């Protein structure tokens, strides 16, 4: 490996060895070999080589884009505009959290409270059912919103009330069982409207299930 430059590592016969495609060197060969290899040493080497390809390949992919961006920043007041946009993007997560809170604070049922947690999570709480304390968390990041339903008194899910309720609502299969609860991921901005529709629909189903 030490006899090859970075360009040799990330290129195979004139094309990128990693270009985020399914048939590049990384995904079409290295990753597949790692997956089926029964030899621990070979598996480790393949994994390390794959990580190197991905790192260097990513640099090769981004360099032309950064060159164009650099040239754009040299023009007029584009740098100040970009800095302003960055500041707004940094605050967008908090805005999205507060927007969820503002939208549902007058439509809480079956919960009693919605609030902000650490500026990246809108959480619905105060819903007691049997021995469970149900909650919804909407965990916001720059590119996604994660909808989580869980029992706040049973984060590990050992009592099983959250799972029982989802089964009662006939929607258990819609969620992934995570460490602390049951999750569904929504992309931002593509799924933003779908997220709000999902919150409304889920609360309605939950209200009906609790009453039955």
- Angle ∠(33,36,41) on CA atoms, nearest 5: 75
Same domain, 30 and 130: no
**pLDDT at residue 11 tops 80:** no
64 vs 76 pLDDT, higher one: 76
- Could you give the 3-state DSSP secondary structure of residue 130? coil
Same domain, 171 and 206: yes
Same domain, 198 and 107: yes
Q: Cα(211)–Cα(172) distance, rounded to whole angstroms?
A: 18
Sign of CA pseudo-dihedral 39, 40, 45, 50:
positive
Same domain, 102 and 197: yes
Q: What is the pLDDT of residue 123?
A: 98
The whole domain housing 45 covers 6-73
Sign of CA pseudo-dihedral 195, 196, 197, 202:
positive
Same domain, 101 and 182: yes
How many domains are there within the chain? 2
| Residue-wise pLDDT tens digits, 107-153 | 999 999 999 999 999 999 999 999 999 999 999 999 999 999 999 99
What the block records as the tokens of 79 is: 């740098």
Same domain, 155 and 187: yes
Instruction: Give percent of the chain with pLDDT exceeding 70.
Output: 77
Same domain, 60 and 165: no
Average pLDDT over the chain, rounded to whole? 84
Same domain, 46 and 151: no
Sign of CA pseudo-dihedral 132, 135, 139, 145:
positive
Q: Is 64 exposed, middle or buried (0-12, 13-18, 19+ CB in 10 A)?
A: exposed
**pLDDT at residue 24 tops 50:** yes
Same domain, 50 and 105: no
Same domain, 104 and 176: yes
Backbone phi, psi, residue 174, to 5°: -85, -5
- pTM value surpassing 0.75: no
């Amino acid at each position: 490996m030490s006899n090859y430059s970075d360009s040799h590592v990330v290129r195979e016969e004139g094309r990128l060895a990693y270009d985020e495609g399914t048939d590049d060197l990384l995904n079409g060969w290295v990753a597949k070999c790692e997956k089926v290899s029964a030899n621990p040493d070979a598996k480790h080497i393949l994994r390390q080589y794959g990580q190197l390809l991905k790192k260097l390949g990513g640099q090769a992919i981004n360099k032309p884009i950064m060159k164009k961006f650099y040239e754009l920043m040299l023009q007029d007041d584009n740098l100040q505009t970009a800095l302003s946009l960055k500041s707004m993007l940094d605050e967008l997560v908090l805005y999205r959290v507060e927007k969820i809170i503002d939208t549902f604070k007058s439509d809480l049922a079956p919960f009693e409270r919605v609030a902000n947690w650490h500026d990246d999570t809108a959480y619905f709480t105060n819903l007691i059912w049997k021995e469970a304390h149900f909650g919804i968390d909407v965990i916001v990041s720059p590119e996604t919103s994660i909808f989580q339903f869980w029992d706040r008194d049973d984060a590990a899910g050992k009592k099983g009330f959250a799972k029982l309720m989802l089964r009662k609502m006939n929607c258990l299969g819609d969620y992934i069982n995570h460490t602390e609860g049951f999750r569904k991921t929504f992309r931002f901005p593509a799924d933003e409207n779908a997220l709000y529709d999902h919150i409304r629909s889920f609360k309605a189903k939950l209200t009906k299930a609790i009453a039955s």
